[in-house]
Structure 1
């Protein structure tokens, strides 16, 4: 535990992050950004509340002798992201107005109907709503779904029809309704509709999670306001989180970026967060991470959700180490349970490694359903025999096409893998020990024998390969930000390998030199990242409390909301369009722009205060496109102007 001395009374904040591998909790002095206490617990995916309780109780134990009354509780979670990837959530009915999906579009709704309506790009109705037909369709859909979505063509230019449908459905049936214009002002009917459908699907999932968090906090007498981290790195209150859970997609990576800034004190840096499953890389300028301009993509879903522009590599402490058929090592992208941790659950695992001469096993996952047929046979075998090698299962089960079936069961989460990982390598060296060192060492011996290496050389090779891969991912992120898409040919891959220190050339040396420091976040950061100073010429900062950086980021943010209003030429004047009012006509450009700024400012302030901001301040920016007037060369006229008002405020007084 680290204590921070201060002349003023501390303002306590409790930060909680439920990650893919660990659930972290920190107690901070929000005046100084100092970590007063910290704790970690393994994330319990079948019931997240178990890991939450363990982490919260552990961190509260540090404050047992002090009166601890937090002023703020911040939460970040991978729940929304994982739910989208795994297809979990409520059943949604979709009503489309004025459009039909293109072939191959998967919009994520259980039932969907498309009716005349919608607007053109000027906000004019394409067709009037047939309310009788609409009510008939809704009557048919409601018994099949938990919530409804209404998404109209160009509703961002005129939300009138979407508002009418939402009001009617809520009044008559009392179920949740999400309107596409409420979540984004961006064009793109597919992305806007998917965003609304995912939001509706996630509403019961995140609400259940937040209810569990509140129950845990209430049982411990913690009454402070609870805020949830959004994917763009800012906070929102519980009411907004329940209404807009889709905004929490990718909040985990956002937490690492914000935590890296707070812990390092660096405003311009590259934050690298290495977790159990992946490594996330974000570039911060002036203390603010870049935000994806085109919205977030999660699995197969393209959305309009703003999130930190994060580069994610399938490389983590739990990535599986394999021997390459061509010699050398392959690490990832498959995730397995490290031998050192699996041996806690299966104490005879070291004996199994000795008996089989192998370090790769298959085991039965917790919380699985009862499985029928051949999958059931496999489950019963693993339940009876415990962790087993593939060769054992082939011999004992005699199942045709066993490997494809095991692959499918693994993808569905019914079974898991156990194997040697970078985390095991750290256990062998003693750099990080939290599990069974014997199991890790036996696994290293098995690989070393196959590769004709000594144990120490093998472990060093694993760690060097990991740091080289991190170095390459950092270089790729920087180059992609500057150049856009990168080539995918053998020459480029060879150059990247030389830049990241993976390989060298007899007569040519290529060195990458970063002009911004690298900030390492995550439990294994110190073990892997210090070598990056040598590989890519970077100044590496591993801040104190780096292992709980995500929980720090969850509680140290601010509240920020923005609103876009558009100005377009219309007939002999101009029109102001927004996602919260019908188009308004003005005679001159100046009048239209002034009104657009007023509307944007008013709505941004309203949204920020509704999200929990105190005394928010507003900044306004404009982007415009102008075209040359055909009959007056050299003179331009407005084609489009975007007016963006952003309101920013702290969630509490400091």
Structure 2
């Protein structure tokens, strides 16, 4: 019997499960609150809840984590520097404010991989020496490095030589071509830059996991889940931490499929911060080739296609300022987007909150804002407060570290409402907000009983009194609204996927005439459609109509994952006609999914026809094979194609060997596609996609 341990560190909870590989059954699960800023303590707490006799038999450990995502979103990564090589105009680098340390130097190649201009070694050396003591890693991205990576590799070698000190190795250097083979120098640069920022944090986390596994006496193989639903070994995870961005949603999707027994399904994951929708088809996650977007950064990381809304169990519910146009509760009650501590959980830790909630002490509804509410408490986060203004320091001094302070106690001796100051302190992560949330709504309705329900009821009564409604009626409305928003996200996701797939089909069927491809694509697909207010309002109107004339019917099951989701299933069925499932262990689906991911590798190789223009016709001068890390020239097309086919398979098998996968266990696929200017002529490009898959454990 092989026992497998799955670990997921989410925004609110850290989940662990032990699964028997042979019977494919969950033997035990446990949860613990995720700890910040270091999640390893939360992992230890969850593992301590597991039976020791099961833990000691574990031979495989697989981890999914929000660490990389949160580090990027919160901008808490280590300082890194970005070197872009090529013409500033061609690079189209427009995020100078976002990247603190960067430079652009001469160099780069053309689209055939020929040197466009010499690499400026002097400029690189001058810049590296000026910032090496301020940063922990470097990122390098060169123009058309996917056609020829020489300038990136030369720059990497120079940086490592310049940053060697006291016998220690030089600074880590991440090259864009090492992470992505698709065109886009700037996006590859962003990907490499984020990867460089994440290196120290991820290495500390992975090393801590390894140490914890060893401390418990386990001789286990450790894997890390990536955002495309595949797993990697710890060495690759530490080299390419950017690939673990959104590994949490990937784990949810895989866990939903495994627990429900459905190889094809839609997944809704309700977490503390957000609600995510994604799709698995025939056992494989639906992948977006556009690259993951995190914290406003567009990367080249291939990730699961996902619709995300800033609405989770810990999203704040707040009352906005009244206006003359308000006519009902729905005009004034707001969800999110900021995540706060639910009042029920805070009351479990600090019972004194109950006494404050028993008094309706806040009277002026015309001072409401996102940060000033009738049910609002603040507590220090524990982060060091540096560089505060005099007014910020005054408000900060009123807030304690060991007990929540009500908004009333903060304001009682002030002549103004400090909403902007509170916002600033929250944004700087110096204080945390406590208030009314969807988690509290479920406690009021009796659908969830994890924390102090009395505090939730008191908070609901106060909130309802300002809306001139009854508190149970308010909570039923809020729960139904939350379900409506989930249904909307499902529709947005499916329409967006349908449009994208249709556009891809048009591109694929138009390969014989590349000049018409773009016009056909643009005529058929508006990529901004699903983000338009008109579209979203139309979907909302259809779903929310009291006696709907239309109802969205899905021919694929919807599997719900996350702690409180079972409470929303019946309400969701009012809006969506589909089989809606909440399988056993739905509350630890992410930890299950961490074990389900396959060992997978994708290699892209292109064979390009090199042509020159003669007086009367195009002349073929040869063929170049572009592959990850290099290129090779050939005089004969068949030789080039055969080389590409053999190389792609070889690179897949070499990767699998590094991951200790026997050759006979590898499932290999190859897709070959010719791209021509017109019918009957020699293709100007042949593109190969090689994919290798192997079972991890489950």
Q: Deviations over 1:55-103 (max 9, x none)?
A: 11112x2xx3457321210011101011111112222233322232546
| Partners of 2:495 and 2:530 within 8 A in 1 | no
After TM superposition, give the deviation of residue 470 of structure 1 in Å. Answer: 0.8
Q: Quick one: distance in 2 between partners of 1:476 and 1:132?
A: 51
After TM superposition, give the deviation of residue 132 of structure 1 in Å. Answer: 5.6
Alignment of 1:616-635 (within 5 A): 616-628=666-678, 634-635=679-680
Q: Quick one: distance in 2 between partners of 1:120 and 1:107?
A: 28
Q: For residues 93 and 448 of structure 1, do their structure 2 counterparts lie closer, same or farther at Cα, with a shift above 3 Å needed? A: closer
Q: For residues 393 and 151 of structure 1, do their structure 2 counterparts lie closer, same or farther at Cα, with a shift above 3 Å needed? A: same
Q: Quick one: distance in 1 between partners of 2:193 and 2:596?
A: 30
Q: In the alignment, what sits opposite 1:4?
A: none
**Equivalent of 1:370 in 369, 382, 385:** 385
After TM superposition, give the deviation of residue 650 of structure 1 in Å. Answer: 2.8
| Partners of 1:149 and 1:197 within 8 A in 2 | yes
After TM superposition, give the deviation of residue 430 of structure 1 in Å. Answer: 2.1
| Partners of 1:96 and 1:115 within 8 A in 2 | yes
| Partners of 2:264 and 2:556 within 8 A in 1 | yes
> Is 2:342 aligned against 1:292?
no
Alignment of 1:635-650 (within 5 A): 635-650=680-695
After TM superposition, give the deviation of residue 266 of structure 1 in Å. Answer: 0.6
Q: In the alignment, what sits opposite 2:539?
A: 496
> Is 2:602 aligned against 1:586?
no
Q: Counterpart of 2:139 in 1: which secondary structure?
A: strand
| Partners of 1:237 and 1:612 within 8 A in 2 | no
Q: Counterpart of 2:554 in 1: which secondary structure?
A: coil
Q: Counterpart of 1:637 in 2: which secondary structure?
A: coil
Q: For residues 11 and 649 of structure 1, do their structure 2 counterparts lie closer, same or farther at Cα, with a shift above 3 Å needed? A: same
Q: In the alignment, what sits opposite 1:547?
A: 587
Q: Quick one: distance in 2 between partners of 1:125 and 1:408?
A: 49
Q: For residues 613 and 91 of structure 1, do their structure 2 counterparts lie closer, same or farther at Cα, with a shift above 3 Å needed? A: farther
Alignment of 1:2-401 (within 5 A): 10-59=1-50, 61=51, 64-65=52-53, 68-100=56-88, 102=92, 104-106=94-96, 109-129=99-119, 131=121, 134-171=124-161, 173=164, 174-323=170-319, 325=322, 326=326, 327-328=328-329, 329-357=333-361, 359-371=374-386, 372=388, 373-383=390-400, 386-398=403-415
| Partners of 1:559 and 1:612 within 8 A in 2 | no
Q: Quick one: distance in 1 between partners of 2:292 and 2:173?
A: 22
Q: Quick one: distance in 2 between partners of 1:580 and 1:551?
A: 35
Q: Quick one: distance in 2 between partners of 1:410 and 1:578?
A: 47
Q: Which runs of 5+ in 2 are unaligned?
A: 165-169, 363-373, 500-526, 612-619
Q: For residues 575 and 526 of structure 1, do their structure 2 counterparts lie closer, same or farther at Cα, with a shift above 3 Å needed? A: same
Name the count of aligned residue pairs.
631
Q: Quick one: distance in 2 between partners of 1:536 and 1:237?
A: 40
Q: For residues 109 and 314 of structure 1, do their structure 2 counterparts lie closer, same or farther at Cα, with a shift above 3 Å needed? A: closer
| Partners of 1:562 and 1:604 within 8 A in 2 | yes
Q: Quick one: distance in 1 between partners of 2:161 and 2:86?
A: 23
Q: Quick one: distance in 2 between partners of 1:459 and 1:605?
A: 56
Q: Which runs of 5+ in 1 are unaligned?
A: 1-9, 629-633
After TM superposition, give the deviation of residue 137 of structure 1 in Å. Answer: 4.3
Q: Quick one: distance in 2 between partners of 1:175 and 1:491?
A: 50
After TM superposition, give the deviation of residue 134 of structure 1 in Å. Answer: 4.3
Q: For residues 184 and 611 of structure 1, do their structure 2 counterparts lie closer, same or farther at Cα, with a shift above 3 Å needed? A: farther
After TM superposition, give the deviation of residue 286 of structure 1 in Å. Answer: 0.9
Q: Counterpart of 2:219 in 1: which secondary structure?
A: coil
Alignment of 1:478-557 (within 5 A): 478-483=494-499, 484-486=527-529, 492-500=535-543, 502-504=544-546, 509-557=549-597
| Partners of 1:91 and 1:109 within 8 A in 2 | no
**Equivalent of 2:434 in 410, 414, 418:** 418
Q: For residues 606 and 471 of structure 1, do their structure 2 counterparts lie closer, same or farther at Cα, with a shift above 3 Å needed? A: same
| Partners of 2:380 and 2:400 within 8 A in 1 | no
Q: For residues 70 and 439 of structure 1, do their structure 2 counterparts lie closer, same or farther at Cα, with a shift above 3 Å needed? A: same
> Is 2:418 aligned against 1:427?
no
Q: Counterpart of 2:132 in 1: which secondary structure?
A: helix
After TM superposition, give the deviation of residue 163 of structure 1 in Å. Answer: 1.9
Q: Deviations over 1:517-544 (max 9, x none)?
A: 1001011111112322232111111110
Q: Quick one: distance in 2 between partners of 1:522 and 1:626?
A: 48
User: Higher mean Cα deviation, 471-480 or 376-385?
Assistant: 376-385
Q: For residues 134 and 422 of structure 1, do their structure 2 counterparts lie closer, same or farther at Cα, with a shift above 3 Å needed? A: closer
TM-score (norm 1): 0.91
Q: Quick one: distance in 2 between partners of 1:131 and 1:65?
A: 59
Q: Quick one: distance in 1 between partners of 2:383 and 2:130?
A: 34
Alignment of 1:428-447 (within 5 A): 428-447=444-463
After TM superposition, give the deviation of residue 548 of structure 1 in Å. Answer: 0.3
| Partners of 1:116 and 1:127 within 8 A in 2 | yes
User: Higher mean Cα deviation, 104-113 or 642-651?
Assistant: 104-113
After TM superposition, give the deviation of residue 306 of structure 1 in Å. Answer: 1.0
Q: Quick one: distance in 1 between partners of 2:246 and 2:532?
A: 30
Q: For residues 91 and 157 of structure 1, do their structure 2 counterparts lie closer, same or farther at Cα, with a shift above 3 Å needed? A: same
Q: Counterpart of 2:312 in 1: which secondary structure?
A: coil
Q: Quick one: distance in 2 between partners of 1:601 and 1:112?
A: 37
Q: Quick one: distance in 1 between partners of 2:103 and 2:261?
A: 52
TM-score (norm 2): 0.86
| Partners of 2:11 and 2:273 within 8 A in 1 | yes
Q: Quick one: distance in 2 between partners of 1:512 and 1:67?
A: 45
Q: Quick one: distance in 2 between partners of 1:390 and 1:132?
A: 57
| Partners of 1:12 and 1:68 within 8 A in 2 | no
